[in-house]
Amino acid sequence: MASLSRALRVAATCPRRSRTRGLGLRALTGQAGPAAEKSVPYRRTLKDPQGPSTVARGPSQPLPSTAHVVVIGGGSLGCQTLYHLAKLGVSGAVLLERERLTSGTTWHTAGLLWQLRPSDVEVELLAHTRRVVSHDLEEETGLHTGWIQNGGLFIASNRQRLDEYKRLMSLGKAYGVESHVLSPAETKALYPLMNVDDLYGTLYVPHDGTMDPAGTCTALTRAAAARGAQVIENCPVTGIRVRTDDFGVRRVAAVETEHGSIQTPCVVNCAGVWASAVGRMAGVKVPLVAMHHAYVVTERIEGIQNMPNVRDHDASVYLRLQGDALSVGGYETNPIFWEEVSDKFAFGLFDLDWDVFTQHIEGAINRVPVLEKTGVKSTVCGPESFTPDHKPLMGEAPELRGFFLGCGFNSAGMMLGGGCGQELAHWIVHGRPEKDMYSYDIRRFHHLLTDHRRWIRERSHESYAKNYSVVFPHDEPLAGRNMRTDPLHEELLARGCFFQERQGWERPGWFTPKGTAPVLRYDYYGAYGNRMHEDHAYGRLLGDEYTFDFPPHHDVIKKECLACRGAAAVFNMSYFGKFYLVGLDARKAADWLFSADVSRPPGSTVYTCMLNHRGGTESDLTVSRLAPGPQASALTPAFEGDGYYLAVGGAVAQHNWSHISTVLQDQKFRCQLIDSSEDLGLISIQGPASRAILQEVLDADLSNEAFPFSTHRLVRAMRLSFVGELGWELHVPKPACVPVYRAVMAAGTKHGLVNAGYRAIDSLSIEKGYRHWHADLRPDDSPLEAGLAFTCKLKSAVPFLGREALEKQRAEGLRRRLVCFTVDEKVPMFGLEAIWRNGQVVGHVRRADFGFAVDKTLAYGYIRDPSGQSVSLDFVKSGDYAVERMGVAHPARAHLKSPFDPDNKRVKGIY
Ligand SMILES: Cc1cc2nc3c(=O)[nH]c(=O)nc-3n(C[C@H](O)[C@H](O)[C@H](O)COP(=O)(O)OP(=O)(O)OC[C@H]3O[C@@H](n4cnc5c(N)ncnc54)[C@H](O)[C@@H]3O)c2cc1C
């Protein structure tokens, strides 16, 4: 028996093994490594004691010839998806598992479920999983899933970490998740074996717990089968048959196995680390990597029974209660990639590499000192999939209609399984998930990235290594940078631009007066023999952002904002998506796709939303009607019929593209969607002096009469504003970007023109009350709830996607409403804060920032009436409000209109 401290010593004295070689797969009963014993939990319930694969015996049931849906993979995600499909009434859904249920990653999971994460959607997903395993399944099947509610304890060793926990606690109040911030002494009373000498405090969540994989999957499949679903084990999928429909669209036709095929229009790829291989069968890119992930199980520890599970984020370790012992695991900076994913790996584990695992031992012993003298009973090191942004891959693949993903779960596939299974089922049955699943939707990634090996590998590595890092509001990745740059990149870098990364694009964040801050090649934080960058400007500036206070460069962003309000600022927004929608049916398509009337005379530009059939907002964008022309130019393609130019936020360009393409395919509109994002730059000049500056650069007459707000001209100059000022966007062919930018800067100097970035846009736009898609405007928010009724042509008779849902919502009354709050105390807020009204929590903040012209923090959140009534304007006006930040309630004022320039004078050029 090896004790943890002995393992530490062994690892320290052992010659270093290569981390990528010599780690062959081993069967459960394989050779012992430094840990003496390698039995694993659940062996008795799931492992075939005879050893060899049972696949040879053939499928556990005959295959049906057709199925409405085929789920591939019988792990947590496959079983949850099947169960929720059956619950939604899908008859005869089939799950095909290559070996036995849970035989991939699921069987050896630690099974921890923590209810609080820094995302409102994830809190809801986790709550659903918890409901399913702790209540629903038992009620439906009479089987106990193995759910244990022993509570969860998050450890804070410094103030910032405790601040993060306090943020979680405030968010939890909006969702009824009980949690308590404990002092070190209170923590000791709760967990007597814990060392609390170095603690700042803890967050205790009494209703957290642990899921049992075998019990959960058995109950899920039993409940699904009772509703008509079929589970077929020992049946590997070997191919996906695809057909091309009359409109040239690729669609799923059938699933092939060694034992026959099943015709189906819908496949769900829940194949865990094997999902990339299954994707390849269908020509679908699945951007994930497989890595080793491990924990060790200790011998019995006296007094540990009934203790809560522990996450010591600063030490990067977790301690899970396992009966009268602990499982100890964590996240390393040098995880081992599983380079050649084998398809002969059922109920398998890797040898634990103690060189890698040792880094967790010191932290674990420090937290629970009795571990130093406790033996290691077994080691559990298995494969798990990790993705570039540490979020799962879900939804319909852009390459193939009817092919859904439910994979890439970044060591959270048990706790997220129920919520995600439910959303996937909804997606398949109703065409959309119920919640806002944008962060998980495979269509969030730009198609250039989804098979870019370096990007996927670097980003997945960084995400793994930072899994337990504090989630700061303004963090940026260091991995996978400089993938996509625009012509102004070098120019702006030389002027002190601090870049942010969005979907591979480098976009300006803000401008430092302290010289240049280039992003360096990714150094893997020194892992795998890479030399770590020691001191570099970008790293230093990013490090300064690691705070929940105002960052040290708050005043730099203030200068950018106030220059824009007082003179003018230039924003490089070249990373925007720029699409043309043209063709014979383009007008019909535009009428159907866009909530606003965009079919105005050529030259007009309209701010509009695109909705889903439930009236949720899939996008907000500007649409410019084009004059018809048979000749192509640098700015307009040749087209017949009608034509529109669409400008959409760069981070969400792929999502917009996919949404439009899907609607065009579903409605069979005869038109083309053309992507010109890489051909055009976008330079925006905003502020009272913008007209004077541009008048020196452009030939056009820029007066209010000749160039009114919300119109555009060639070179495509659009009079628009994202920040609430007089301003123009110049959509310029890429080769012209640098000369145009230089001319603007030369003309602007005497007017006080400054460079500004997206941090200034964030602040200026919230101050003006403009929405940010995917923050205060999401697919689960309707434009009526978001105060954007003016973008909906409800007074016209024109049908549009989502119209019926909006009409119903209007008739029934709004159950929630987006409200602007200002907070007089100068405290920073970032979103997730709880909103109190008359002593009750009525919502949480979706988006917050500091507004420099109003000199206040502004926060936007949707509020509800706790009595369940609709939220009238009187309800909004009549309450006493406070916004709770880190457990402290700050008095707040609710506004029905933006507190800055409520009469919209400035965008009209009236100063
Ligand atoms: C050490 C460790 C600890 C963890 N701890 C936690 C935790 O505490 N909490 C938590 O929430 N998560 C945890 N996880 C993560 C969690 O276990 C996984 O995210 C989850 O089990 C993944 O489930 P899955 O269904 O996506 O994949 P899998 O369980 O791997 O299921 C995929 C299935 O697909 C099958 N398959 C593959 N190819 C084919 C084919 N061609 N035809 C048919 N079938 C096929 C496989 O046989 C497999 O059964 C942990 C993971 C590890 C490794």
Atom of ligand 1 nearest to the CA of 102: 49
Q: CA 276, CA 283: separation in Å to the nearest integer?
A: 10
Q: What's the CA-to-centroid distance between 340 and ligand 1, angstroms? A: 17
Quote the ligand 1 centre to 270 CA distance (angstroms): 9
Residue nearest to atom 20 of ligand 1 (CA): 413
Low-confidence ranges of the chain (pLDDT < 50): 1, 8-54
Give the position of tokens 């048990």.
414
Span from the CA of 217 to the centroid of ligand 1 (angstroms): 11
Distance, CA of 525 to CA of 531 (rounded, Å): 8
Ligand 1 atom nearest to CA at 103: 49
Backbone angles phi, psi at 585, to 5 degrees: -100, 15
Distance 843 CA to ligand 1 centre (A): 34
CA 384 to centroid of ligand 1, rounded, Å: 7
Kind and range of the H or E run holding 881 = strand 881-885
Token pair belonging to 910: 């009236």
Question: Given the CA of residue 381, which atom of ligand 1 is nearest to it?
Answer: 1
- Smallest CA separation from ligand 1 atom 31, residue: 75
Give the mutation target among 378, 411, 420 for probing the ligand 1 site: most ligand atoms within 8 A of CB.
411
**Atom 33 in ligand 1: which residue has the minimum CA distance?**
73
User: Cα of 15 to ligand 1 centre, how many Å?
Assistant: 33
Which residues are paired to 717 by β-bridges?
713, 730
Q: What is the DSSP string of 259-300?
A: TEEEE-S-EEE--GGGHHHHHHHTT-----EEEEEEEEEE--
Closest CA to 79 of 408, 438, 425, 391: 425
Is 0.85 topped by the overall pTM? yes
CA 287 to centroid of ligand 1, rounded, Å? 16
Distance 175 CA to ligand 1 centre (A): 28
Q: How far is the CA of 598 from the centre of ligand 1 (A)?
A: 47
225 Cα to the center of ligand 1, angstroms:
21
- Candidates 63, 84, 105, 349: which one to mutate for ligand 1, based on the most atoms within 8 Å of Cβ? 105
What's residue 539's pLDDT?
A: 96
CA of 426 to the centre of ligand 1 (A): 22
Task: Give the nearest ligand 1 atom to 380 CA.
Answer: 1
Task: Using alpha carbons, list the distances in angstroms from residue 650 to 2, 69, 207, 535, 574.
Answer: 53, 34, 40, 31, 8
CA 570 / ligand 1 centre spacing (Å): 48
Residue 153 Cα to ligand 1 middle (Å): 25
622 in Cβ contact with 610 (< 8 Å)? no
* 522 Cα: distance to centroid of ligand 1 (angstroms): 29
- Mutational pocket test of ligand 1: of 106, 234, 289, the residue with most ligand atoms within 8 Å of the beta carbon: 106
pLDDT score, position 708: 64
Closest residue by CA, ligand 1 atom 18: 413
CA of 261 to the centre of ligand 1 (A): 25
How high is the pLDDT of residue 638?
A: 87
In degrees, rounded to 5, the angle at the alpha carbon of residue 732 between the alpha carbons of residues 729 and 735 is 150
Ligand 1 atom having least distance to the Cα of 278: 41
Token pair recorded at residue 879: 């309450």
| Ligand 1 pocket at CB < 6 A | 72-78, 96-99, 103-106, 109-112, 236-237, 270-272, 274, 278, 293-295, 380, 382, 384, 407, 409, 411-415
Full DSSP string of 669-692: ---EEEE-TTTEEEEEEESTTHHH
**Two structure tokens written together for 3:** 């004790």
N- to C-terminal Cα distance for the chain? 79
Atom of ligand 1 nearest to the CA of 385: 19
Q: Would you call 421 helix, strand, or coil by DSSP?
A: helix
Among protein residues, the one whose CA lies closest to atom 22 of ligand 1 = 413
Atom from ligand 1 closest to the CA of residue 384? 53
Residue closest to 255 by CA, chosen among 230, 291, 290, 288:
230
Beta strands in 676-801 (DSSP E): 680-686, 712-713, 717-718, 727-733, 753-756
Q: Which residues of 673-712 are buried (b: 16+ CB within 10 A; e: fewer)?
A: bbebbeebbbbbbbbbbbbbbbeebbeeebeeeebebbbb
Q: Tokens 């009350």 label which residue?
A: 769
CA distances to 484, 557, 572 from 553, in Å: 26, 7, 20
Amino acid at 463: S
Please give the structure tokens belonging to residue 641: 């019929």
**Residue of 40, 46, 60, 76 with the most ligand 1 atoms within 8 Å of its CB, for mutation:** 76
Q: Mutation test of ligand 1: which of 109, 257, 331 has the most ligand atoms closer than 8 Å to its C-beta?
A: 109
For ligand 1, atom 1, the nearest C-alpha belongs to 294
Please, are residues 668 and 613 in contact by the beta-carbon 8 Å criterion? no
Nearest residue to 579 (alpha-carbon basis) of 678, 500, 504, 513: 678
Distance (Å) from CA 310 to ligand 1 centroid: 22
Residue whose Cα lies nearest atom 48 of ligand 1: it is 104
Query: Which backbone phi and psi does 187 adopt, to 5 degrees?
Result: -65, -40
Q: Distance, CA 336 to ligand 1 centroid (Å)?
A: 17
DSSP per-residue string spanning 471-540: --TT---SSS-SSB--TTHHHHHHTTEEEEEETTEEEEEEE-SS---PPPPP-GGGGGGPPPP-S-HHHH
776 near 847, Cβ under 8 Å? yes
**Ligand 1: nearest atom to the Cα of 78:** 25
**Ligand 1 atom at shortest distance from the alpha carbon of 415:** 11
pLDDT at position 711 = 64
